[in-house]
Chains A and B, each alone.
Chain A
């Protein structure tokens, strides 16, 4: 039997995390016999992406009104091709915080999802939201949590030596909520505690301003090898405002680190995992979560 051709569409706005998921998918040896996978970069605002040669087309493109033309052309030109869309971006919390006109936004998603034979949610919470908002017929919806290579990370990291260094790893953007974490951490007044922040982004100056005057907080910039970042910290904090899935949580656990995460979207799917504690998205909750995590250490040193 001939190999099936699978074509993945990505665009310039596709996040780095999505590219890593694709890289991982492309090297899966058990798939390579059955399917031939390719990645195609497209322009989101193009009128059409043309006639594509594939048995299955998987879109990782972020839906928007501006990409409506291209999505509709995709369907029109591939009536017999199976079209799958993977929703890496949008969630309930994203909509709540970023979309002033929610009805128009939902209408846009419904129109675009309707072009596809299957719509993939990356977490159960995201799927529940899609169903509740009736963004696509429920028989079209499935959950496929993304995967990346975590083996290297667990091989390269050894268990944490101390227990008082908290790490935040990710882009310095509003989505990641590091401002909430910094405010919460600053209010803890535990002298042994450290907060290391790995990553770059547009909020760097703002975050440095928030951290100013607290010598326990350090900005370490982008870590070339993520293993170095995880090795440098004992507890990983994920204070995201929205997060469709949250690969950083998987990575932290693979590196054998305890996690504090905000209870939002895909992150909340991991509720019940004893290694992860959850807190609300405000500084006061982060303050008490940090206290809770560091309590055994503080008790030991004060004795």
Chain B
């Protein structure tokens, strides 16, 4: 049995899958398996995956499309490792990533999820000079709800026992358990990690370094931001009964953080009205983000204001503006 399993959910990922797999095969920690879950792709994903099966550590599971959460769940069900990592089929792991997390989890028995920061890369795979550098220590449920430190789907390595504690089987499911909630098409990560924080006694903790290269796709529509907000609200509504007192205390500020995050996404999309509206709603919801992170809030405000009054020109021209909008 391998010590670790890396689950790679892949849907129409022909452009990036090979690069992702190469980065995983190059891990310095060598006792692991890679489980590619082809989630009903219509492109060359399966062919590219098969080309890697010459490496005995690589396995391929194929299924009719179930979405990202469904692909991860299938990967978890197939995984044999004591530690299970996730890497989406367009992201990259730095060579020392798995080693760092396995070392961390073995040294810290109270930690159930080990994660790291990420560097953002563009579609061509070039680093954008933007990073996700989350809080690493003393992470509470409130931190996760406000500013999920497990910033993307390729950041975490999790103990199998933790995933078992989170697993459940909806009455209509006939094949295997769910860990990630497959009814979510967005916010499936934060739903899972918040459920972990509210329903188990595991601690989560990060290791230093930007050990994931997380790919940002250009564009993105305002409709997608709306759906993201909707999914976030559904996550809150679903989890509130687990600890109503917790949500009573933290929900407003968390929503303000979420709205500010979406406002920043709208700014990068140069969507003037959406950006302004989301930022205004964030401030109406709670001033906590402004008080806790005044620089980030004021740069968001400035950018949204410039975009609103002067249009996209200055934003696109001013490269330094982009630097200020780092770590979205």
Contacts and interface: CB of A to CB of B under 8 A. Distances in A.
Contact count band on B: 10 to 19
A101 B140 contact: yes
Given A103-B111, A106-B110, A283-B241, A92 B201 contact: yes
Interface string A94-131: 01110111111010000000000000000000000100
A133 B142 contact: no
A95 B200 CA distance: 8
Given A133-B110, A134-B109, A102 B241 contact: no
A282 interface: yes
B245 A102 contact: no
A96 B109 contact: no
A96 B140 contact: no
B201 A103 contact: no
Given A282-B241, A283-B241, A102 B109 contact: no
B320 interface: no
Contacts of B111: 103
Given A134-B109, A282-B241, A96 B142 contact: no
Interface residues of A, number: 17
Interface in A68-100: 92, 95-97, 99-100
Interface string A127-142: 0010001100000000
Given A103-B108, A133-B109, 12 more contacts: A96-B198, A99-B201, A100-B141, A101-B138, A102-B202, A103-B111, A103-B205, A129-B201, A133-B110, A133-B201, A134-B109, A282-B241
A174 interface: yes
B200 A100 contact: no
Contacts of A96: 198-201
Which are the 10 A-B pairs with shortest beta-carbon distances? A100-B140, A95-B201, A102-B203, A103-B203, A96-B201, A103-B110, A282-B241, A106-B110, A92-B201, A102-B201
Contact of A174 (B108, B110, B140, B245): B245
A222 B259 CA distance: 47
10 contacts: A96-B198, A100-B140, A100-B141, A101-B138, A101-B140, A102-B203, A103-B108, A103-B138, A104-B138, A129-B201
Contacts of A95: 201
B197 to A, nearest CB: 9
Interface of A: 92, 95-97, 99-104, 106, 129, 133-134, 174, 282-283
A285 B142 CA distance: 27
Contacts of A129: 201
Interface of A is mostly: helix
Contacts, number: 33
Q: Find the residue from B110, B142, B200 having the highest chain A CB count within 10 A.
A: B110
A106 B202 CA distance: 11
B309 interface: no
A113 to B, nearest CB: 15
Interface string B162-205: 00000000000000000000000000000000000011111101
B284 interface: no
B151 to A, nearest CB: 21
A93 B267 CA distance: 42
B315 to A, nearest CB: 39
Nearest to A129: B201
Nearest to B246: A97
A134 B199 CA distance: 20
Contacts of B140: 100-101
Interface string B99-141: 0000000001111000000000000000000000000001011
Contacts of A282: 241
Nearest to A241: B243
Contacts of B138: 101, 103-104
A129 B201 CA distance: 10
A214 B111 CA distance: 45
Interface in B16-51: none
A133 B138 CA distance: 18
Contact of A100 (B108, B110, B142, B241): B142
Q: Which residue of A95, A102, A104, A133 has the most chain B CB atoms within 10 A of its CB atom? A: A102
Nearest to A284: B241
A100 B198 CA distance: 10
A102 B197 CA distance: 10
Contacts of B109: 133-134
Residue in B200, B201, B203 whose Cβ sees the most chain A Cβ within 10 Å? B201
A208 B140 CA distance: 32
B243 A97 contact: yes
Nearest to A96: B201
A42 to B, nearest CB: 28
